[in-house]
Amino acid sequence: MSSSHERNDRKRWQPEGQKKPSTGRPATAKGQHRPGPDKDGADWLWGWHTVVAALANPERPAPRRLIATAERAHQLTERFGKIASLEIVEAGVVRERLPAGAIHQGLALKTPPVEPVPIDELGALAAGVLLVLDQVTDPQNVGAIFRSAAALGARGVILQDRHAPVLSGALAKAAAGAIDAVPHARVVNLSRALEQLAELGWRAVGLDGAAEQTLAEVLDQRPTVLVLGSEGEGLRRLVAEHCDALARIPMPGGFESLNVSAAAAIALYEACKTTAAPTR
């Protein structure tokens, strides 16, 4: 959903030739240590679905590095053809480049994060469902929310410019490729963003456990923005005031609250089956 100018200026990745396979043992001088993981793995994507989705996304910038075991490299070339940036390494080399415990499935891709789109472009067609995340900072939760958004047909996700994680690393692994399937916007001021969306024809529904009405009572056929707050604080006051309605998810089991990613999945299911789907 980027503009034509942005698409034309962006350097795209194209499969080409294949680099000479490495032995998987980086050359080091005597007494030197092998390089450790790159900080917290923020520049890396890992896992089969995550990496394949990134390579298949024409809006992605050119990859900086792609490493894979021989088996995974064969699967990648079968899918994409010869890849210029592909290096065949041992599994231990992949593991060394990533945070401890990363489930890499034999491949990792170093690439800039997928670029956001302007909010007026994301909300230009007022139909379906958008998600707004108000200071939801846990990468696993944000990744799971993107995955639910992709599965349930949400139009996009809106994050803060600050107080929101980078869409790579553990977040991308939790999203299982969804960050390349669901467009996102980053904004400085969520309240102003909700005002812009209202001008474009969207209706904002904030999730609040103390709300009088349930989500089913509030939702209708109109284009809907679901607004979710952080687990600890919930929606901030100004953000809640910019919602057209507040609603709660009924919990007959009596449990106090849901994880924000679980709440997002339930709310998305309800909203996507109620709200009129976009037509193109």
Q: Answer yes or no: is pLDDT of 9 > 50.
A: no
Asked if 182 and 154 count as a contact pair (C-beta separation under 8 A), the reply is yes
Residue 275 is predicted with a pLDDT of 82
H/E run at residue 211: none
Cα distance between residue 93 and residue 37, in whole Å: 10
Average pLDDT, the chain: 85
**Would you say residue 157 has pLDDT above 70?**
yes
CA distance 13 to 265: 33
Q: Which residues contact 31 (CB under 8 A, 6 or more apart)?
A: none
Q: State whether residue 186 is helix, strand or coil.
A: strand
Residue 31 has pLDDT above 60, yes or no: no
> Of 240, 113, 103, nearest to 174 (Cα)?
103
Buried b (16+ CB within 10 A) or exposed e, 72-94: bbebbeeeeeebebbbbbbbebb
- Spatial CB neighbours of 51, under 8 Å, sequence gap ≥ 6: 45, 66, 107, 108, 109
Query: pLDDT digit string (tens) for 96-153?
Result: 999 999 999 999 999 988 899 999 999 999 999 999 999 999 999 999 999 999 999 9
Whole-angstrom distance, CA of residue 96 vs CA of residue 35: 8
Residue 22: which pLDDT band, with cuts at 50, 70 and 90? very low
* Alpha-carbon torsion (260, 262, 265, 271), positive or negative: negative
Determine contact, residues 178/149, Cβ cutoff 8 Å: yes
Predicted TM-score (pTM) of this structure: 0.83
Q: Are 144 and 175 in contact (CB under 8 A)?
A: yes
Which pair of tokens denotes residue 134?
Answer: 């108000």
What does the CA dihedral 148, 151, 154, 156 come to, rounded to 10 degrees?
A: 70
Angle between helix 48-56 and helix 70-80 axes, rounded to 10 deg: 30
pLDDT higher than 70, residue 10: no
- pLDDT tens-place string over residues 198-218: 999 999 999 998 899 999 999
Q: Which of 146, 131, 149 is nearest to 226 (CA)?
A: 131
Architecture of domain 119-274: 3-Layer(aba) Sandwich (3.40)
Among residues 8, 258, 257, 35, the alpha carbon closest in space to that of 145 is found at: 258
**Domain chopping of the chain, boundaries:** 4-110, 119-274
Grouping H, G, I as helix, E, B as strand and the rest as coil, residue 235 is coil
Task: Tell me the pLDDT tens digit for each residue of 264-278.
Answer: 999 999 999 888 767
